[in-house]
């Protein structure tokens, strides 16, 4: 099946394809041949066109205990694919559609999904641990010996084919380059959403962003789109600063060059009293946030974002 075909010879049958399987925590992924079952009601089977690596994949690849640790599994939750076949009760999607799987569910029917003030689907969002959204631990993946392989975050894009519930799908224009669109699955939407929807950054305000990975850059982009006047980037790696300017950062702080001063003191001096919004990338604050927490004076809104 190519990107434009509306017909699949595999419809209703399992597909044999290759996937990168994570069999043990921290061990290299292994490319194996697997079976991908046909989609059931409210599901589609997707041929993955492009997938990217998010830090959350790396985190769960390493973690040895917890509800989402279920080896073997197929990681990957940022991707763009084309629908190969659809299950029953799938409305709004058809074979050949270009789609973006997203780990966060949207049932479209509950009070929260219908409201513009919430993005926490009351029906589905509390369950991150099942394999399939409506079928619990039932998996659509089997290895060559017939054993189940676990899904990850309802996407599992490190496979040539995957099965995704329609509550985790967004239809895309076929004109969008797939390598750029894949980042909308998690990193870019998390960052822009944090600035735009969660913090609700106001025009002319001052924003500090801790950590300039993909999510942090997207936070700056969101703040810039909202009209922030000053966007301060804090990161240990100064090589990110030049790139940061393209995403809207106006000022930068490298904590290793702050000497005896706490980062909060440097920011107070730069802003004459503090910023309006402080958005911290979770992995970054793990390393450097202690000195900042001790001087929270002057901040109106705080937020922790992502795991990238
Ligand atoms: Zn819902
Ligand atoms: Zn992610």
Predicted pLDDT at 83: 97
Distance of CA 303 to the CA centre of its chain: 17
Predicted pLDDT at 13: 94
Whether pLDDT at 281 is above 80:
no
Q: Which ligand is nearest to the CA of 124?
A: 1
Ligand 1 centroid, distance to 116 Cα (angstroms): 12
Whether pLDDT at 285 is above 60:
no
Under DSSP, the state recorded for 182 is: G
Percent over 70 (pLDDT), the chain: 89
CATH class of residue range 15-182: alpha beta
Predicted pLDDT at 119: 79
The least confident of 150-154, 161-165, 276-280 is 276-280
* Residue 306 pLDDT grade (very low, low, confident, very high; cuts 50, 70, 90): low
The least confident of 224-228, 252-256, 301-305 is 301-305
Predicted pLDDT at 296: 37
Whether pLDDT at 297 is above 60:
no
Question: What is the per-residue pLDDT across 82-115, written as a single tens digit (0 to 9) for each?
Answer: 999 999 999 999 999 999 999 999 999 999 999 9
At 92, list the tokens. Answer: 């709004």
Predicted pLDDT at 128: 87
Whether pLDDT at 241 is above 90:
yes
Which residues, by Cβ under 5 Å, contact ligand 2, an ion? 54, 56, 186
Overall average pLDDT of the 149-170 stretch: 97
Rounded distance between C-alpha atoms, residue 237 and residue 216, angstroms:
13
Predicted pLDDT at 234: 94
More confident residue, 111 or 295: 111
* Residue 280 pLDDT grade (very low, low, confident, very high; cuts 50, 70, 90): confident
Percent over 90 (pLDDT), the chain: 71
Whether pLDDT at 293 is above 80:
no
Ligand 1 centroid, distance to 170 Cα (angstroms): 14
Domains of the chain, by residue range, sit at 15-182, 188-305
Q: Which ligand is nearest to the CA of 115?
A: 1
Report the CATH fold assignment for 188-305.
Rossmann fold (3.40.50)
Predicted pLDDT at 302: 53
Burial class (CB in 10 A: 0-12, 13-18, 19+), 260: exposed
Total residues found in the chain within this entry: 308
Overall average pLDDT of the 128-133 stretch: 94
Q: Which ligand is nearest to the CA of 114?
A: 1
Whether pLDDT at 144 is above 60:
yes
Predicted pLDDT at 91: 93
Q: Kindly tell me the sign of the dihedral angle through the C-alpha atoms of 89, 92, 93, 96.
A: positive
Ligand 1 centroid, distance to 297 Cα (angstroms): 37
Overall average pLDDT of the 190-202 stretch: 89
User: Could you tell me if 304 and 289 are in contact, meaning their C-beta atoms sit under 8 angstroms apart?
Assistant: no
Whether pLDDT at 308 is above 80:
no
Whether pLDDT at 79 is above 90:
yes
Ligand 1 centroid, distance to 126 Cα (angstroms): 11
Under DSSP, the state recorded for 198 is: I
Predicted pLDDT at 303: 57
């Amino acid at each position: 099946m190519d990107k434009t075909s509306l017909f699949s010879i595999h419809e209703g049958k399992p597909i044999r394809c290759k996937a990168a399987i994570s069999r043990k925590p921290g061990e290299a992924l292994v490319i194996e041949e697997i079976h991908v079952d046909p989609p059931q009601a409210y599901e589609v089977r997707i041929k993955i066109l492009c997938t990217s690596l998010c830090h959350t994949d790396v985190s769960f690849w390493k973690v040895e205990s917890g509800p989402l640790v279920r080896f073997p599994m197929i990681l990957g939750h940022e991707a763009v694919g084309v629908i190969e076949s659809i299950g029953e009760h799938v409305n709004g999607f058809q074979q050949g559609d270009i789609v973006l799987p997203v780990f966060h569910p949207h049932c479209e029917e509950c009070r929260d999904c219908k409201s513009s003030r919430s993005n926490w689907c009351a029906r589905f969002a509390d369950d991150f641990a099942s394999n399939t959204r409506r079928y619990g631990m039932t998996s659509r993946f089997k290895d060559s010996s017939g054993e189940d392989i676990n899904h990850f975050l309802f996407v599992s894009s490190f496979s040539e084919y995957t099965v995704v519930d329609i509550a985790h799908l967004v239809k895309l224009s076929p004109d969008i380059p797939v390598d750029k669109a894949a980042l909308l699955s998690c990193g870019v939407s998390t960052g822009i959403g944090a600035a735009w929807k969660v913090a609700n950054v106001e025009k002319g305000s001052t924003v500090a962003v801790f950590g300039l990975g993909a999510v942090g850059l997207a936070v700056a982009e969101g703040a810039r789109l909202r009209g922030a006047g000053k966007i301060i980037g804090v990161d240990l790696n100064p090589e990110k600063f030049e790139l940061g300017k393209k995403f809207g950062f106006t000022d930068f702080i490298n904590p290793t060059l702050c000497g005896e001063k706490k980062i909060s003191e440097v920011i107070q001096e730069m802003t004459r009293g503090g910023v309006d919004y402080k958005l911290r990338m979770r992995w970054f604050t793990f390393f450097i946030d202690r000195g900042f927490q001790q001087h929270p004076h002057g901040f109106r809104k705080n937020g922790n974002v992502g795991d990238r």
